[in-house]
């Protein structure tokens, strides 16, 4: 009896997973530049961290300043979510635009993954240490990668969807 319940539970779990996966694939396939832009969170902006945000890499703030300006975990979480959206924007460009620089797309993918790992590490440390030096360093590292990724995304948009650049700049 117990074995049958476990088998049925496993089948239901697999069916739910596959249904969710299919729904996500359909959602990704029906996206447009506008729907992707609408998903960017603008509650926090990294503009305060760099003099030339969206146009070149690098921060003009120290780790302590960056932690204060990003409002701690709030800014980290916005970076985490926006990194995924920018990764999806890069995927969209590679599928729907001609002549996309593959190295630029791969760099954006790599940045998104590294940002998400740094943010999760910083949030994990923050949960235990409340803004220790390690938390601020990981947050600074994530912010530096985030500004670089945003600059690369701006470059990609300028080349393949120039009409979206003002909306992207406003959202960031």
pLDDT (tens digit per residue) in 62-120: 778 888 888 888 989 999 999 999 999 999 888 888 888 889 999 999 999 999 999 99
- My answer on whether 49 and 94 are in the same domain is yes
Tell me: do 19 and 40 sit in the same domain.
no
Structural Rg of the chain based on CA atoms: 19
Mean pLDDT, the chain, rounded, equals 85
Average of per-residue pLDDT across 7-24: 92
Greater pLDDT, 51 or 136? 136
Residue 141 clears pLDDT 80, i.e. is over it: yes
CA 107 from chain centre, in angstroms, equals: 13
User: 112 and 63: one domain?
Assistant: yes
| Helices vs. strands in the chain: H and E counts, helices first | 7, 0
pLDDT over 90, % of the chain: 27
Q: Would you give the end-to-end CA distance of the chain in angstroms?
A: 56
- Is the pLDDT at 131 greater than 70, yes or no? no
Are residues 13 and 38 located together in one domain of the fold? no
Range of the structural domain that residue 97 is part of = 32-171
Residues 38 and 114 in one domain: yes
Q: Give the pTM.
A: 0.78
Asked if 64 and 102 sit in the same domain, the reply is yes
- Averaged pLDDT for residues 147-153: 88
User: Are residues 48 and 132 located together in one domain of the fold?
Assistant: yes
User: In the 8-state DSSP scheme, what is residue 40?
Assistant: S
What value does the mean pLDDT take over residues 9-28? Answer: 90
**Among 9-18, 59-68, 136-145, which stretch is predicted with the lowest mean pLDDT?**
59-68
Can you give the pLDDT at residue 85? 92
Matching residue, tokens 């539970």: 9
Q: Is the pLDDT of residue 55 over 70?
A: no
pLDDT band at 60 (very low <50, low <70, confident <90, very high): low
The per-residue pLDDT for range 36-50, each reduced to its tens digit, is: 888 888 887 777 666
Residue whose token pair is 């360093």 = 137
Say if residue 71 is in the same domain as residue 130.
yes
Count of domains observed in the chain: 2
The pLDDT, as a whole number, for residue 17 is 94
């Amino acid at each position: 009896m117990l074995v049958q319940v476990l088998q049925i539970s496993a089948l239901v779990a697999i069916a739910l997973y596959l249904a969710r996966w299919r729904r996500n694939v359909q959602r990704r396939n029906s996206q447009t530049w506008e729907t992707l832009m609408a998903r960017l969170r603008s509650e926090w902006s990294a503009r305060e961290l760099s003099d030339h945000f969206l146009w070149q890499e690098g921060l003009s703030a120290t780790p302590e300043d960056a932690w204060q300006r990003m409002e701690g975990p709030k800014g980290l979480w916005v970076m985490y979510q926006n990194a995924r959206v920018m990764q999806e924007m890069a995927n969209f460009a590679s599928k729907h635009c001609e002549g996309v620089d593959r190295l630029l797309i791969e760099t954006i993918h790599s940045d998104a993954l590294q940002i998400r790992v740094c943010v999760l590490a910083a949030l994990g440390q923050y949960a235990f240490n409340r803004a220790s030096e390690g938390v601020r360093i990981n947050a600074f590292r994530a912010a530096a990668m985030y500004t670089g990724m945003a600059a690369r995304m701006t470059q990609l948009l300028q080349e393949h969807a120039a009409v979206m650049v003002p909306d992207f700049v406003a959202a960031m």
